Amino acid sequence: MVFLPQITFEIVNEAIGYDPSGGGLNLLISNLIGAATMFAGIAMLGYLIYGAITWATAGGNEEKIETAQKAISNALIGMLIVVLATTIAAIVGSVIGTPILSPPWETLRP
């Protein structure tokens, strides 16, 4: 059986990347991904509500129903893209040994 070696990076310089104490680039990336995910969830909810209201008030108008269906499907596709991007970021973080999505809890001080 062949085992692949695990690659770990021992970057300690805060100016160029990962800081073991939780600061630096990994904390910035984690905060940006969290904010983007939150914004995408709020936007998806807004598009779903817009699509539902448009569909409910269409009154049989095919153009409005088609617009509503596109809004709902675009919202779901957009959220799927966000979930996939977050998953890819988690995989990349685990491969390079940097906690991109989950910085150390000690850094989350008030």
| Residues 17-74 pLDDT 10s | 445 555 566 677 777 877 888 888 899 999 999 999 999 999 889 999 999 999 999 9
Q: Give strand pairing partners of 18.
A: 24
Q: pLDDT per residue over 2-21, tens digit each?
A: 555 555 555 554 444 445 55
The residue type of 72 is I
Q: What is the pLDDT of residue 56?
A: 94
3-class SS letters over 3-71: CCCCCCCCCCCCCCCECCCCCEHHHHHHHHHHHHHHHHHHHHHHHHHHHHHHHHCCCCCHHHHHHHHHH
Asked whether the predicted pLDDT for residue 109 surpasses 60, the reply is no
| Closest-CA residue to 40 (of 100, 82, 90) | 82
Measure the CA–CA gap between 73 and 18, rounded to whole angstroms. 38
